Amino acid sequence: MKINKTNAARFLDNLKIQYELIPYVVDENDLGAEHIASQLNEPIEQVFKTLVLRGDKIGPFVCVIPGNLEVDLKLAAKLSGNKNCDMIHLKELQPLTGYIRGGCSPLAMKKKFPTFIHQSALEQEYIYVSAGIRGLQIKIKPTELIAAAQATVGDIVR
């Protein structure tokens, strides 16, 4: 089966970073990380979701967290240099990032946003993040993703 490269994959290619593109069956009624983990037959702690938030000082920023956890807005605000922050509205996601819900990659967004990855990523040999479309994940070493996204690592979940 031929898999078409996404912008996120081409971005990694340009950086000469190793990764794999892993397809999965999309369930339009369940776009959650748990569904993806079960499709990939991997632990949920290795399937990371990409969330876009807006801080009161720096504007939009990205949090990449394990699929079974929730972002802690206070911790995310503090790590990102904001006093407070909130999730962006769903209708803002595509105009801001170029991606749709269920297919938002932390790589190759329309604009480069500050990115924060939960520290548990470093406990894994590899993690999965969206490749930029529904039905396709990037399997990558956490250190490689951190380098590619120029991300800050910290505690951003509750």
Which residue in this structure is represented by tokens 């990371």?
48
Rg (CA), the chain: 14
Q: In terms of residues, how long is the chain?
A: 158
Confidence band for 126, pLDDT divided at 50, 70 and 90: very high
Domain membership of residue 57 as a residue range: 7-154
Let me know if residue 97 belongs to a domain. yes
Residue 2 lies in a domain: no
Closest among 151, 43, 26, 13 to 100, alpha carbons compared: 26
On average, the pLDDT of the chain sits at 95
Is the predicted pLDDT of residue 129 greater than 80, yes or no? Answer: yes
Can you say whether residue 123 is alpha, beta or left, with left for phi > 0 and alpha for psi between -120 and 50 degrees?
Answer: alpha
Count of domains for the chain: 1
**Domain of residue 76, CATH code:** 3.90.960.10
Question: Helices 142-149 and 7-14 sit at what angle, rounded to 10 degrees?
Answer: 90
pTM of the predicted model as reported, rounded to 2 decimal places: 0.96
Q: 108 lies in a domain?
A: yes
Residue 1: pLDDT band with limits 50, 70, 90: low
Which tokens belong to 86?
A: 């909130």
